[in-house]
A and B are shown apart, each in its own frame.
Chain A
Amino acid sequence: MRDIFTLSLIASTIRLSTPLVLAALGGLFSERSGVINIALEGKMLAGAFTAAAVTYAADKSLGLGNASPWAGLLAGMLAGLFIAAIYAVSCIKFKADQVVSGAAINILMIGMPGFLSGAFFLSSGSTPQIPKDHLLPQSPVIIAIAILVLVAVIWYVVYKTPFGLRLRSVGENPEAADAAGVSVSKIRYSGVLLAGVLAGLAGAYLSIGQSSLFARNMTAGRGFIALAALIFGKWRPVPTLLACLFFGLTEAISIRMQGVVKLPSGEDIPVQFIQMVPYVLTIVVLAGFIGSSRPPRALGIPYQKEK
C-alpha cells in the first residue's frame, strides 16, 4: 500500500489532472455564458492532433527545434478555437440545438484526425513520434504553478472583471443582461471561443506534453470527465479545480494499483470501480443528493430576442 502513496503519486495526479483542469475551465466559460459544452471532447481531440502534427512538422520540415512544441501548442489552441467557432456559429447564430451540435462535433472529431493523419502521415490515425527533447516541459512543479496561476486568473476574470460579470449574467438571465444593454450573443461567442482555446490547450498538453504523439481517440473520454468535474465543481473555478484534482487522483491510483495491490484472495482490485467514481459522483450531485449543483439558469436555451 505504501508504494502507492508517494511523492510520485502527487506528481502523476498533477499530470493527469492538468488536461481535465484546462478543459473544465474552458467549459466553465462556455456554460457560464449559457451554452452547453458536451463538445469538449471533440475540441480536445482537435487540439491534441493539431498540436502533435504541427510540432512534428515544425521540427522535421521547418527545423524549429526547441521552439517546435510551442508552435504546436499555439496551433492546438487555434484548432480548438476553430472548432469552437463552428460550434458557436451553429448554436448562437443559427440557434441549433446545442446538444445535437455538440454531438456532431464529437463525431466529426473522432474521424478528422484519422482522416488527416492518414493523408499526411500515411498512418492509421496517429502522428509520428516526436523526439523527447521537443516536447513541452514536464516538471510537475512548473505545471502545478502554471495551473494555479491559470485558475487564479480565471477566478479573477469571472468574478472581478466587467467581462466576468456580463458572462455570469448572460448565463443566468440573458433577458436581464439584454435589458441592461449587454449584447448576449457577443458574450456567448466569447465564452464558447474561450472554451475552445482552453480545450485545445488541454488536448495539446495530452499529445505533446504527456505523451509524444497523437494516438487515435487519445482523449478517451477526458472531455466528459472535465464536464463532470465542472458540474461537480458547481460551475465555479476553485471547486472545479479541486474536482479535477480529485478525478486525476482517482485515475492515478487506478493506474498504480494495476497489478500492484491485491485483494486478500490474491486478485487484483478492479480498477473499473475507481474509474467509475467521477461519473457516479456527477449523477449523485446532479440529483441533489450531495448539496445542490444548480446549472446556470439559461444553460442550453438559445436566446431568442423578440423582434
Chain B
Amino acid sequence: MTKLARELLFPLIAVVAAFIVGGILILIVGDNPFQAYGLLLGSALSWPDGIGYTLFQATPLIFTGLAVLVGFRCGLFNIGAEGQLYIAAFATAWVGIKFANLSPWILIPFCCAAAILSGAFWAAIPGVLKARFGSHEVINTIMLNFIAVALVSYFTQYHYKERGDPILQTAPIGQNAYIPPLGKFIPGFPERIPLNVAFLLALLCCLLVYLFLWRTKWGYEIRATGSNPFAAEYGGISIGRQIIIAMAVSGALAGMVGINEVLGNRHRYYDGFSDNYGFTGIAVALLGRNHPVGVILAALLFAALQHGGIYVDGFSEHVTKDIVQVLQGIIILFVAAEAFFKWLLQRRASMERLRA
C-alpha cells in the first residue's frame, strides 16, 4: 500500500462507519437513509448554490481545522478556537467601524491584521500559562472560550450596538472594509452567494501552514516539540517558546474566521455567529490526519453536510439537520478510537483462524 492510500484509508473507514451508524439511526426514526444521504450530499453538488454555499461554509472550517492542526503538531490541544475566533471577529469589526473612512487598500489589511493578531493574542494566553505554570491548555482554552463570548457580548451590547437595534450585533463596518464576493470575478456565479475572497485566503493559508510547518526552521522546531519534547530539548529547542508560538499561530488561524465573517459576509459583528466552527475544527483536523490537504478535504465534507442539512430539514419527513452534528460526533469518536478498528480486524482474523 502506498503511503497516500494508507493515509486515506483510515479516515475513509471512519467516515463510512459513521454513515452506517447514522443510517441505522435514520432507519430507527423511520426514514430512508439513502434518501436522506442523497439529500445531504447531493444538494452540495448543485451549481451554483450548492457548490457556492458549501465552499462558503468550508472557509471557516479550513481556518479552524488548520488552527487545531498547528496545535496538534506541537502536541497541544487547542479547544479554544471558538473563543479565539469570537475575539478576532469582534476586533475585525471594531477596526472596520473605527477606521471606516480609510482607503480600502489600508483598511482591509488593517482589519485582517486585527483578526490575526487578536486571535493570536487570545490563544497565546493559555500558551503562556502552560509554558510558565504548566497548567493544562485544554481546561484553559475551554474557560477562555466562555470568557471570550462574554467579553465580546458585553462590548457589543454596551458600546457598539446601534441604538434601538433589537439584535445583539454591532453597527456595520465601513464599506471600504468589504472584501468582494467571488461572484464579482466568476461569470455566471451570483454575487448573492456569500462565498468571498476569504476562501482563497483559506486555501493560501493551507499552503502557508504547510510551508511553515514542513519547510521552515520554526515549523521544524514546533513539530519536533510535538513529536518528542525530550529530543527537541536535546536538540537545543526551547519547549516553552514553541508552545507559545504554536498557540499564537493556531489562534491567528482561528482568528481569520473573522475576515470571512465580518469583511466578507455579514459586514458587522453578530453575536453567536459561529456555528460551532471551533469545535468542528477539531473534527476537521482529526479527520484530515493533521495535514493541510486533509483539512481541505475534511472541511469540504463537513461543509457539504452542513449545507445539505438544510435540505434534509426541508424535504425529509423525520430527519432534521441535526443529523450533521450526530455524524460529526460519531466520526470523531471513530477517529479517536483508532484502536477499535484494529481490534475488530484482529478479532476477525483470529475468528477465521478458529474456523480454519
Contacts and interface: CB of A to CB of B under 8 A. Distances in A.
B350 interface: no
Interface of B: 25, 29-31, 77, 79, 129, 132-133, 135-136, 138-140, 142-144, 146-147, 150-151, 153-154, 157-158, 276, 279-280, 282-283, 286, 313, 318-330, 332-333, 335-340, 343
Nearest to B150: A272
A99 B68 CA distance: 13
Nearest to B341: A94
A90 B340 contact: yes
Given A106-B279, A280-B147, A287-B129, A101 B319 contact: no
B325 A111 contact: yes
Interface stretch (A5-13, A73-81, A223-231): A223-231
Contacts of B135: 283, 286-288
Contact of B143 (A104, A113, A282): A282
Given A276-B146, A288-B133, A270 B154 contact: yes
Contact of A283 (B140, B286, B319, B320): B140
Given A90-B337, A90-B340, A103 B328 contact: no
12 contacts: A103-B79, A106-B279, A111-B324, A120-B29, A125-B320, A267-B158, A270-B157, A272-B154, A272-B157, A276-B147, A286-B136, A287-B132
A100 B332 contact: yes
What is the interface residue range for chain A against chain B?
35 or more
Given A103-B332, A110-B329, A276-B151, 16 more contacts: A90-B336, A96-B333, A99-B138, A100-B335, A101-B333, A104-B336, A107-B332, A110-B322, A111-B328, A114-B322, A115-B326, A118-B322, A227-B139, A272-B153, A283-B143, A287-B135
Given A111-B322, A114-B322, A276 B150 contact: yes
A105 B322 contact: no
Which 7 A/B pairs are nearest by Cβ-Cβ distance? A111-B325, A108-B329, A118-B320, A114-B322, A119-B29, A104-B332, A272-B154
B339 A95 contact: yes
Nearest to A119: B29
A107 B335 CA distance: 14
Interface in A108-157: 108-116, 118-120, 122, 124-125
A99 B151 CA distance: 26
Given A110-B276, A119-B29, A97 B322 contact: no
Most chain A beta-carbon neighbours within 10 Å: one of B25, B146, B326, B336: B336
Contacts of B280: 107
A210 interface: no
A260 interface: no
B329 A109 contact: yes
Contacts of A38: 79, 138, 142
A113 B279 CA distance: 18
A224 B138 CA distance: 12
A105 B335 CA distance: 13
A36 B336 CA distance: 15
Given A105-B329, A272-B151, A221 B146 contact: yes
Contacts of B324: 111
A227 B343 CA distance: 32
A219 B135 CA distance: 26
A38 B322 CA distance: 21
A82 interface: no
Contacts of A283: 129, 135, 140, 143-144
B142 A224 contact: yes
Contact of B29 (A99, A116, A228): A116
Nearest to B77: A99
Nearest to B335: A100
B338 to A, nearest CB: 8
A246 B187 CA distance: 60
A103 B79 CA distance: 9
Contact of B139 (A110, A118, A119, A282): A282
A231 B338 CA distance: 30
B322 A115 contact: yes
B133 A287 contact: yes
A86 interface: yes
A275 interface: yes
A18 B94 CA distance: 39
A248 to B, nearest CB: 16
Contacts of B151: 272, 276
Nearest to B280: A107
Listed residue (A110, A120, A300) with the most chain B CB atoms within 10 angstroms of its CB: A110
Given A104-B329, A105-B333, A272-B153, A114 B140 contact: no
A95 B321 CA distance: 31
Contacts of B136: 286, 295, 300
Q: Among A96, A125, A300, which residue has the most Cβ atoms of chain B within 10 A?
A: A96
B323 A111 contact: yes
A103 B279 contact: yes
A83 to B, nearest CB: 11
A272 B339 CA distance: 43
A286 B139 contact: yes
A122 B326 CA distance: 18
Contacts of B25: 115
Contacts of A124: 320
Given A99-B138, A273-B150, A118 B77 contact: no
A107 B133 contact: no
Nearest to A225: B146
Contacts of B143: 224, 228, 279-280, 282-283
A302 to B, nearest CB: 10
Contact of A100 (B150, B157, B323, B336): B336
A279 B333 CA distance: 27
B147 A279 contact: yes
A28 to B, nearest CB: 15
